[in-house]
Amino acid sequence: MNATSWLGRLKAGLTKTSSQIGGGIADIFRKRRLDDAAIQELEDLLITSDLGLDAAARLVGNLKKTRFGKEVSDQEVRAALATDIADILSPIAIPLEIDVARKPHVVLVVGVNGSGKTTTIGKFARLYKAQGLDVMLAAGDTFRAAAVEQLKIWGERTGCPVISGKAEGDAAGLAYEALQQATSRGADVLLIDTAGRLHNKADLMAGLEKINRVLKKLDESAPHDCLLVLDATIGQNAHNQVEAFRDIVSVSGLVLTKVDGSSKGGVLVALSERFGLPVHAIGVGEGAEDLQPFEAGAYARSLMGLD
Amino acid sequence: MFDSLTGRLSDVFDRLRKRGALSEADVDAALRDVRVALLEADVALSVVRDFIAKAKADAMGENVLRSVTPGQMVIKVVNDALIEMLGGEAEELNMMAVPPVGIMLVGLQGSGKTTTAAKIGLRLQTRDRKKVMMASLDTQRPAAQEQLKILGEQAEVATLPVIPGQGPVDIAKRALEAARLGGYDVVLYDTAGRLSIDEALMGEMSQIRTAVDPHETLLVADAMTGQDAVNVAERFHETAGLTGIVLTRVDGDGRGGAALSMRAVTGCPIKLIGVGEKLDELEEFHPERIANRILGMGDVVSLVEKAAETIDQEEAEALAKKIQKGQFDLEDMSKQLQQMRKMGGLSGLMDMLPGAGKMKDQMAKANIDERMIGQQEAIISSMTKKERSRPKLIHASRKRRIAAGSGTTVQDVNKLLKQFQTMSKVMKRMSKMGKKGMMRQGLQGLMPGMSNSPF
């Protein structure tokens, strides 16, 4: 993946986002003294980007400490905020490393309904396939109508075999079988799809825990990664989601999807401070190539309407 | 979904209630807390600002500050403003048009359009006896058309046959024609998910709308949506001319601020809410009830309605007779447990009870959850018929067998039996109270050590 395509795509994806928040900041700080009213407006803007009250207050607090009472241009404010946000995010911008010695490296993909799990798996499949790895997919969403068909289409698009069982079958059983098959085939990566579930439904979460447990029967270290897929349009509920999924299946990393929409996914900043979970990738479109590694600096600058 | 907001607001209001006279500063302080509570619930900032301004103007009115209980009055003001913001009266789908009545569903990717289409189809067909046809116009997402077809089979609602390669506008026209010829009352258009800033796809949506001129255009939106809910709702409203909103995943623990935001910016009523994964889990939206829920006043109306819907009248009467004769047995207890589950389980019930918001936390701490109901049902179904009607038979070896059969421990069996004893004792005492009282007792019987609960 070359740098221009990353920047170009992210920029295209974030154009609306940045023009909105960027425009807002430009209004506030066109040659203006950074006083209490300006600080309040700035904080409100960050709140409208879903950063949450605490994160927003802390970020403007920083700004206040260093620049209060000074004449500042909007560029300066944006750059300062982008730097602070990048500082928060850069420790968690970690790509998903596949250990080819594991054969297979098992990745379990979880999340609430409609967050974009199946699409994300299709994109990862393309990415690893392009790197020359042998990738297998497991259609573990046995609940939603046509979810298996959806993953099969992704399998065809990317040339990866898809393990599937019958509709409404046992997802844990399927995961077990998929791991067996991937092992005997000597596949490098096994991506397991799961049914979307709300994190506050104890019985559904128990089903997820079962998949985890069953995989460990075959390979004590599996799943090697557990990705929680988060929709960028989500608000503060993201905190509850991360917490609940982390407690049940020890989530190892996040993928933020639909970042090409008008939503900012700003809650990520607060999530980063609270959980410190790596963000492995972001989804910026419906195509197979619309998955990008998460780059803190570029993301923060785009979020602030710079570049 | 409104739990945390409820918790926050009740703290604010508890403080207010304790006060006698209120100054402007007191009102300001309280409203600042309300502002934080609303923002944390993902209500859009612009909406929060308007809300606070209105609430403040009302609260500073003379009759509030000079009233005997200014604290109470401020709470009422906030409550009223909330109901107003949520849209006052409940509004149903509007079916007053020449059939086939078109209903188009639009929204972002993954908001739940296809599932909602099937839910609405099922609801109109079973509840309103309409002949419904559904058509998937989603040519974007792989297997989306297949998904609606399968859901149609599950719900026994007709779907338009899929012709591969046909574009969304043509499918919509074909659906309308087929519905006309087939004598359908309703035709549901399930469109592809799209970003509100995707000019091309938004344009396509507006073309579909022009082509088939649906009577209802509903925005399907996730209850967990953040601040962007306002932008999304606004853009869809501008392009598609919304007539209503369907809020999905209301059974999650999102605080539901999106509901307030979208209602406020579009002026469109929230007509339906999705409350579960099953196709019959779609309900109408009652603003005043939800506002009460937010303010921690419970939703007793919903509870009673739900009870009326799920409780089998004859069965209930038979049970009442048994109880009067002092013959309540484990079989009956098992039926009660089933009934509770049908009514949405413990948490479903708790949501609707006044002041239960805080109790939910306590319950979580005491490890009382849905699983307990399932476990107790399992224990009872591992008993023989004889044991169920004469629990006194159950001695040590039988207990061991029951525990093994239900995957529980002897302690669990003991606990259930003890609970049963308590329950039947109470049952005898309240046999004169009839079935309503009984149902509530069943709930309390499940909560050892919580007999001082507020209901």
The more confidently predicted of residues A230 and B64 is A230
In Å, how far are B166, B179, B270, B285 from B93, measured between CA atoms? 29, 19, 10, 11
Nearest alpha-carbon partner for B79 in B110, B61, B54: B54
Give chain B's mean pLDDT.
80
What is the complex's ipTM, to 2 decimals? 0.86
Contact B44 A235 (CB under 8 A): no
Task: Using the CB atoms, write b or e for A116-144: b if 16+ within 10 Å.
Answer: bbbbbbbbbbbbbbeeebbbbbbbbbbbb
- pLDDT score, position B298: 46
Q: Measure B363 CA to nearest chain A CA, in Å.
A: 14
**Per-residue confidence band for A307, with pLDDT thresholds at 50, 70 and 90:** low
pLDDT of residue A7: 55
Of A48, A237, A267, the CB nearest to B253: A237
Residue B297 CB neighbours (<10 A): 18
CB pair distance less than 8 Å for B254 and A235: yes
Helix axes A267-275, A237-249, angle to 10 degrees: 40
CA dist., res. A60 & res. A31, Å (int): 18
CA distance A172 to A228: 18
pLDDT surpassing 90 at residue A257: yes
On whether the CB atoms of residues A59 and A77 are closer than 8 A, the answer is no
Least confident of A192-196, B223-227, B336-340, B425-429: B425-429
pLDDT reported for residue B77: 78
Residue B150 has a CB neighbour count (10 Å cut-off) of 20
**What are the tens digits of pLDDT across the range B318-371?**
776 776 676 778 888 787 777 777 666 666 665 555 444 555 555 555 555 667
CATH number of A3-92, picked from 1.20.120.140, 3.30.300.20, 3.30.56.10, 2.60.40.420: 1.20.120.140
pLDDT at B355: 46
A12 touching B, CB under 8 A?
A: no
A142 inside 8 A of chain B by CB: no
Task: Say whether pLDDT at A306 is over 80.
Answer: no
Half-sphere exposure of B308 (CA within 13 A, CB side): 6
Q: What is the pLDDT of residues B32-54, one digit of tens each?
A: 878 887 888 888 999 999 989 98
Tell me the pLDDT tens digit for each residue of B284-310.
Answer: 888 776 666 555 444 444 555 555 555
Among partner residues A114, A199, A260, which is closest to B112 by beta-carbon distance? A114
On the question of pLDDT at A31 being above 70, the answer is no
Furthest C-alpha separation in chain B: 73
Whether residue A174 is predicted with pLDDT greater than 60 in this model: the reply is yes
So what's the pLDDT on residue B431? 58
d(CA B303, CA B297): 13
Percent of residues in chain A assigned helix, strand, coil, to nearest 5: 55, 15, 35
Distance from the A21 Cα atom to the nearest Cα atom in chain B, whole angstroms: 12
- Backbone conformation region of residue A187, classed left if phi is above 0, alpha if psi is from -120 to 50, else beta: beta
Instruction: Tell me which residue in A144, A260, A267 faces B226 most closely, judged by beta carbons.
Output: A267
Q: Which DSSP string corresponds to B155-182?
A: HT-EEPPP-TT--HHHHHHHHHHHHHHT
Helix (H) or strand (E) segment spanning residue A255: strand A253-257
pLDDT at res. B152: 96
Kindly give, in sequence order, each residue whose CB lies less than 8 Å from that of residue B150, ignoring residues fewer than 6 positions away.
A145, A146
**To which CATH superfamily is domain A105-295 assigned?**
P-loop containing nucleotide triphosphate hydrolases (3.40.50.300)
**Lookup result for tokens 């739900």:** B306
Pick A146 or B311 by higher pLDDT: A146
Cα dihedral value B125, B126, B130, B131, nearest 10: 50
Query: How is B288-349 classified by DSSP, letter by letter?
Result: HHHHHHHTT---HHHHHHHHHHHS-HHHHHHHHHHHHTT---HHHHHHHHHHHHHTTHHHHH
What residues does each domain of chain A span? 3-92, 105-295
Strand partners, B218: B105, B244
Sign of CA dihedral B167, B168, B173, B177: positive
CB contact under 8 A, B371 and A144: no
